[in-house]
Amino acid sequence: MILAEIRTGMYHGLPQAGRLAYIKLIKHLVIDGYFPTGQTPGLFKHLLRPVSFSLVVNDFGIKYVGKEHAADHLLQCLEKEYPLTIDWEGKIFCGIHLKWDYDERTVELSMPNYVKNALTRFKHPPPRLPQHSPHKWTPPKYGQKQQFATLTDHPPLTPAQRKHVQEVVGVFLQEAETGAGFINAKDAVPIRTTLAELGHSQGPTSLQFDNKCATGIINDTVTQRRSKAMDMRFYWLRDRRRQKQFHVA
């Protein structure tokens, strides 16, 4: 991956500057076969060449196979109209530092000193003792079917009270668990779409729940008795699971 930045040639001082510059750039790119993808804003591909890039304001993050496609074609296309600054190592994009490991096929994203600079900017006084969270953190036990709360000295509940609590807690936990899955899945769909447009189609994305009732409803193995107890939007997640976009366990 390489990064390129347009230094001049953009519109300045007008409220419509961004829109005008974008339209001008698209018209220029189309001449050499580059066009926006259908679903992801700011993502472009070439009609035939293995080149795609993300455009944020005047910064290009370019993914390519074969240097001749990026150097001899896309960059030459841009340089016809705009002077460029090029970073062939692709170290920083949109303020995010990128550390590439092409052998292991990984990339590390970081923003060095971001929190430290923010604390200095807002004049936040340092605490007398190091404090990394607002309260004591209890690490969750991932993968366990049951997680117990701390025991108290309250008298035990009667069988009727225990049944009532189980019904109330069960309803809210099931809906909260399904709601969290809905939010995560909704965030995952645009990522799946972008990967598909880049040529990296994905299999079903795994979602893991700690609530058997929520898992059963989404997987069609449990029928909900009181249909109005759960927000109807959460059935969207079940529909996506049926389309094999997600695997729920």
Contact between 147 and 140 (Cβ < 8 Å): yes
Q: What is the pLDDT of residue 171?
A: 64
Q: pTM for the complete prediction?
A: 0.69
Contact between 43 and 36 (Cβ < 8 Å): yes
Distances (CA, A) of 171 to 159, 175, 177: 18, 6, 10
For residues 165 and 100, state if they share a domain. no
3 state SS of 134: coil
104-157 pLDDT, tens digit each: 989 999 999 988 888 888 888 877 877 776 666 677 777 776 766 666 677 888
For residues 100 and 174, state if they share a domain. no
Tell whether 174 is covered by a domain.
yes
Tell whether 15 is covered by a domain.
yes
What are 71's two structure tokens?
């150097």
For residues 89 and 167, state if they share a domain. no
Tell whether 121 is covered by a domain.
no
**Domain count within the chain:** 2
DSSP 77-94: HHHTTS-EEEETT--EET
Q: What is the pLDDT of residue 1?
A: 67
**Cα–Cα distance for residue pair 205/40, rounded to 1 Å:** 19
Find the length of the chain: 249
Tell whether 30 is covered by a domain.
yes
Tell whether 141 is covered by a domain.
no
For residues 163 and 100, state if they share a domain. no
Q: For the chain, first and last CA: distance in Å? A: 35
- Domain boundary (95, 110, 125) is at 110
Q: What is the pLDDT of residue 218?
A: 85
For residues 43 and 106, state if they share a domain. yes
Tell whether 70 is covered by a domain.
yes
Q: State which amino acid sits at residue 214.
A: A
- Mean predicted lDDT score pLDDT of the chain: 83
For residues 10 and 105, state if they share a domain. yes
For residues 83 and 170, state if they share a domain. no
Give residue 192's domain range. Answer: 159-248
Tell whether 91 is covered by a domain.
yes
Tell whether 130 is covered by a domain.
no
What are 64's two structure tokens?
């390519």
Q: What is the pLDDT of residue 101?
A: 92
159-203 pLDDT, tens digit each: 888 887 777 666 667 777 788 888 899 999 999 999 999 989 999
- Residue of 175, 3, 158, 9 lying closest to 89 (CA atoms): 3
Q: What is the pLDDT of residue 43?
A: 93
